[in-house]
């Protein structure tokens, strides 16, 4: 495989991973947003379901962290052609 085709394959996988994390974040944040209304609609006390709230909030936090790390990966991969050129030009 050429470097170009390897880069294109990695880019496609990266974009797919970014989209998957964003989709999971949208779904999980929606769940977290619905929990208080569901609790109130079921006429349950404010302390009922706190573990579910904590779990949903933890999942959102983990997905935000995953999104951040994918962003760092994206930036690192995007810089590779520039770094490679600098290395070759320094010879």
Res 55: pLDDT: 97
As a whole number of angstroms, the distance between CA 11 and CA 17 comes to 10
**pLDDT tens-digit series, residues 10-64:** 999 999 999 999 999 999 999 999 999 999 999 999 898 899 999 999 999 999 9
In this predicted structure, the answer to whether residue 90 has a pLDDT above a threshold of 60 is: no
- Predicted model pTM: 0.81
pLDDT classification of 2: cutoffs 50, 70, 90: confident
Q: Which CA distances in Å does 43 have to 30, 36, 49?
A: 21, 11, 12
Res 27: pLDDT: 98
**pLDDT tens-digit series, residues 64-73:** 999 999 999 9
The one-character DSSP state at 1 is -
């Amino acid at each position: 495989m050429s470097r170009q085709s390897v880069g294109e394959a990695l880019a496609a996988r990266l974009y797919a991973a970014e989209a998957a994390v964003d989709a999971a974040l949208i779904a999980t944040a929606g769940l977290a947003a619905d929990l208080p209304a569901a609790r109130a609609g079921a006429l349950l006390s404010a302390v009922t379901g706190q573990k579910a709230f904590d779990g949903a909030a933890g999942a959102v936090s983990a997905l935000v962290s995953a999104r951040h790390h994918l962003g760092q990966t994206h930036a690192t991969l995007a810089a590779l052609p520039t770094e490679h050129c600098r290395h070759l030009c320094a010879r």
